[in-house]
């Protein structure tokens, strides 16, 4: 396990116990299961994606810490079926950050564990993606094998959720094509649907008019990259950029 990070400096805090100086928000009003998950340990980074420590999901997602520069590692999975339709999810109302928002198939964080810290061939991030696809959507691991995930690039963005919570992530973009069985976890996901490319374009164009909420990272990826990647699912190699961290805001 990595050293916890001092939220006032962003440096590893070897004197920390289970609490952190940034854990100032009362969680008593939130869903019990989502509160439990806030105790998971995320990978704290510098702005160049170097792991420098670990901090709880709660600590990493408080705007009071984000405003001091705290950034953590994340991933975004885009899963397409054999008809090249993209699986979307709508985040559950129980979610503490960005509830009820539509987003890509699965978005979460590798944890500060030996298996998910492993950076060789981005295997730690891929293990986390496989784990969360099962947790959120009930997709069996054998339907999304690790060697089927295609890592495209990374984005770095910051986005407030409600003034208290937000995101500040270096986000690994993973594509996978698979026909999967779903068993949705209602505490994580309100609804799911597959969309064709033109259908998603229309959905996003009409989102504000229709009151459809979208996660900020999904909007950023949609505006910057998604459709050129989607149009080339059979040959993504020319679009892979592992050297660049795209600073999107």
What span, in angstroms and rounded, lies between the C-alpha atoms of 129 and 180?
Answer: 15
169 is catalytic: yes
The beta-strand segments (E) located in 11-85 are 12-13, 41-45, 51-56, 71-80
What does the alpha-carbon distance between residue 61 and residue 55 come to, in Å, rounded to a whole number?
Answer: 10
Catalytic residue among 107, 116, 136, 188: 107
Nearest-angstrom CA–CA distance, 127 and 146: 7
On whether the CB atoms of residues 52 and 5 are closer than 8 A, the answer is yes
Q: Which entry of 94, 116, 167, 169 is annotated as an active-site residue?
A: 169
- Is 107 marked active-site? yes
Cβ pair 86, 194 in contact under 8 A:
yes
What whole-number distance in Å separates Cα of residue 55 and Cα of residue 57?
Answer: 7
Residues with catalytic roles: 107, 169
């Amino acid at each position: 396990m990595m050293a916890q990070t001092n939220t006032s400096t962003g440096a590893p805090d070897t004197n920390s116990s289970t609490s952190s100086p940034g854990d100032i928000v009362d969680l008593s009003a939130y869903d019990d299961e989502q509160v439990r998950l806030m105790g998971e340990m995320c990978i704290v980074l510098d702005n160049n994606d170097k792991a420098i420590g670990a901090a709880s999901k709660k600590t990493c997602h408080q705007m009071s810490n984000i405003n001091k520069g705290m950034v953590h590692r994340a991933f975004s999975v885009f899963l397409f079926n054999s008809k090249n339709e993209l699986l979307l999810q709508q985040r559950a109302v129980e979610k503490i950050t960005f509830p009820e928002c539509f987003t890509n198939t699965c978005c979460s964080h590798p944890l500060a564990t030996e298996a998910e810290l492993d950076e060789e061939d981005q295997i730690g991030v891929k293990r986390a993606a496989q784990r969360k696809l099962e947790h959120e959507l009930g997709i069996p691991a054998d339907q999304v094998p690790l060697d089927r995930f295609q890592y495209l690039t990374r984005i770095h963005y910051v986005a407030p959720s409600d003034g208290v919570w937000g995101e500040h992530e270096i986000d690994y973009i993973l594509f996978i094509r698979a026909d999967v069985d779903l068993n949705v976890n209602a505490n994580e996901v309100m609804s799911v649907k597959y969309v064709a490319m033109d259908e998603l374009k229309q959905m996003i164009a009409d989102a504000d008019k229709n009151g459809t909420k979208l996660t900020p990272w999904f909007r950023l990826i949609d505006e910057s990259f998604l459709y050129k990647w989607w149009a080339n699912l059979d040959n993504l190699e020319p679009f892979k950029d592992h050297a660049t961290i795209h600073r999107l805001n």
